[in-house]
Chains A and B, each alone.
Chain A
């Protein structure tokens, strides 16, 4: 990809995720055809694209849930394929994933959901385990009242936060989020955005964010990657991407919802939209 633009967000030379020439296909349906992408350490990267453009498939490929047809995915400079061969390595991958509706284990309480992986991989005393779970919940701004509740008893926003708390359980360095604000009211969505930014700033996380939410892109993303036609159409800051000449991008940013996003941001600069 030649149009990767250099921006101040994150260190361009320090890519924690490096995807080269990725090909993914389901039968005859080619989802990715030679996709290249770099995610820099410490940035919040928003990944957008039309339905079926393979955003979620890309996320699943990077975290190793999707067997790729060909190409190279490197995490922290090491090829993913070799790391996945040894299951001991999996918790060393330092990845946290928050699935779209939380994917919380429905038979476990919120606390147990968070503790599950810690208990599985490390020997930790009960008191510390409880403190750790409380701490993750408070980091995700989840009231401790919810600690002993089951996922089905939580509201949509609380489930997302619980999913986030569980994603943070093993102290990941890269956080993957699949539509973290989908299905939330604008106030809750803004609260999640702010929370993600706080967590990134405090914990130095790298965040890979699949979203449709223009407000999220405006509010927290350092860079935006646009997927389409099986490859990366463009990547850069929001302004750079919004000015890129491509029919889908034009439609996405200049549609009625796109304009509203610009107004909300109080953006006075003329972006030519």
Chain B
């Protein structure tokens, strides 16, 4: 490999640049500085003498053409002296490609225009997303009602499959997590209650927290991360593979085929998981009470049995179907929004999890106010 070089021969009347060495991508740094030096000296060579040029690739050829001021391919032969056939071929082909190609571009955006445009598009997009979500919720509700009135139209195989994946497979993690949070609540609560000599109220506190809030909220957040994202990824990859379009052309409604089983599976299983979550939370509290607070499991159970209203349970469990619906609808809708690339699947999966957790928590806050006002 020999170094590339460029010499202006002074004795020639019109500027002739003598090119030598390898003009290839490997030497691109030297090539770039050579052409910059030539540009700075404001000497544009009229012709190039190429007899000492050794290897040439498209990078070198582009720089040579730039030295000559991008001549048209017809004008090229008289600008090249002592050129080998192979080098002439590359230079001519490149000049032809560059001159004859479609060089029109989209005009570059200005930054202010760009900023305003992006803000505007963001607002319009947000409004459209909201409209889309409400529309989709409406479609899913009507389809659900129709399906529940005509249960034979529900896809039972698919439903059972999703119930297994969404519900049964999630039991261990829901139980474990609720158990841990239950024992934490009991442990931390007891340390506050101890100051008042009121550790006996620990079971009340755990049961109140778990029956009303945590028992439902923890499984809901878990399912938003576990199943909502899975729904988005499944439906999204089907969308990018045109499988959704294929379903439509075969006369099947994607909402019936794909969304219904998933949403109904969540509607059935989240209340059951909430129940498991409540029990595990109470068990966690029971363990801590027995080990740390000297409240025997029997005393713990009888305390809950005698002093905790059943209405707390109903308040907690009644929220589960609402959370299930939100998680299912957002997960599926984000899947349908996927377009084209695999990257889009990833984006919408993230957005699905964030949105469904956000919706679950805000709805939960609204429920808290609602039940407070109702005096439940």
Q: Hey, which bits of chain A sit against chain B, CB under 8 A? A: 106-107, 118, 122-125, 128, 131-132, 134-139, 141, 143-145, 147-148, 150-153, 168, 170-171, 198-199, 201-204
Determine which of B66, B89, B90, B105 lies in contact with A147 in the assembled complex, contact meaning CB atoms within 8 Å. B105
Q: How far is the CB of A199 from chain B (nearest CB, A)?
A: 8
B32-A202 in contact (CB<8A): no
Given contacts A122-B25, A203-B90, contact A139 B32 (CB under 8 A): no
Q: Which of B62, B86, B104 contacts A135 (CB 8 A)?
A: B62
Which residues of B lie under 8 Å from residue A147 when comparing CB positions?
105
Residues from chain A with a CB closer than 8 A to the CB of B63 are 128
CB of B234 closer than 8 Å to a CB of A: no
Please give me the residue from chain B that is nearest to A199 by CB atom: B93
Kindly report which residue of chain A lies nearest to residue B33, judged by CB atoms. A125
Tell me which of B25, B58, B343 contacts A107 (CB under 8 A).
B343
Contacts of A139 in B (CB 8 A): 58, 93-94, 97
B253 interface hit (Cβ, 8 Å): no
CB-nearest residue of chain B to A168: B58
Q: Which residues of A contact B97 (CB under 8 A)?
A: 135, 138-139, 141
Partner of B344, one of A134, A145, A152: A152
Once the chains bind, are A150 and B341 in contact (CB under 8 Å)?
Answer: yes
CB-CB under 8 A from B32, the residues of chain A are: 124-125, 128
A137 to B97, CA, bound (A): 9
Tell me the minimal C-beta distance from B325 to chain A in angstroms: 32
Docked pose: A144 CA to B66 CA in angstroms: 18
Chain A residue, CB-CB nearest to B340: A152
Given contacts A135-B97, A143-B103, 7 further A-B contacts (CB under 8 A): A124-B29, A125-B32, A135-B58, A141-B97, A152-B339, A202-B94, A203-B57
Asked if B105 and A201 sit within 8 Å, CB to CB, the answer is: no
| B98/A171 in contact, CB under 8 A | no
Q: With A168-B58, A171-B58, A202-B94 as given contacts, are A145 and B102 in contact (CB-CB < 8 Å)?
A: yes
Contacts of A123 in B (CB 8 A): 28-29
Query: Chain A's interface: helix, strand, loop or mixed, by majority?
Result: helix
Indicate whether B128 reaches chain A with its CB closer than 8 angstroms: no
Chain B contacts with A in 329-355, Cβ cutoff 8 A: 339-344
Contact of A171 among B24, B89, B104, B344 (CB under 8 A): B24
Is B59 an interface residue when CB atoms closer than 8 A count as contact? yes
Contact with A along B120-150 (1 / 0, CB 8 A): 0000000000000000000000000000000
A135-B97, A135-B98, A144-B102 are known contacts. Are A171 and B92 too (CB-CB below 8 A)?
Answer: no
The residue from B28, B339, B344 contacting A124, defined by CB atoms under 8 A apart = B28
Given contacts A128-B32, A138-B101, contact A203 B341 (CB under 8 A): no
Q: What is the bound-complex CA distance between A160 and B102, given in angstroms?
A: 17
Whether the pair A143, B104 counts as a contact (CB closer than 8 A) is yes
Question: Which residues in A have their C-beta under 8 angstroms from that of B248?
Answer: none
A148–B107 Cα distance when bound, in Å, is 11
Q: In the complex, what distance in Å separates the CA atom of A107 from the CA atom of B58? A: 26
Determine if B29 and A171 form an interchain contact, defined as CB atoms under 8 angstroms apart.
no
- CB neighbours (8 Å) of A138 from chain B are 97-98, 101, 103
Chain B, 188-240, CB within 8 A of any chain A CB? none
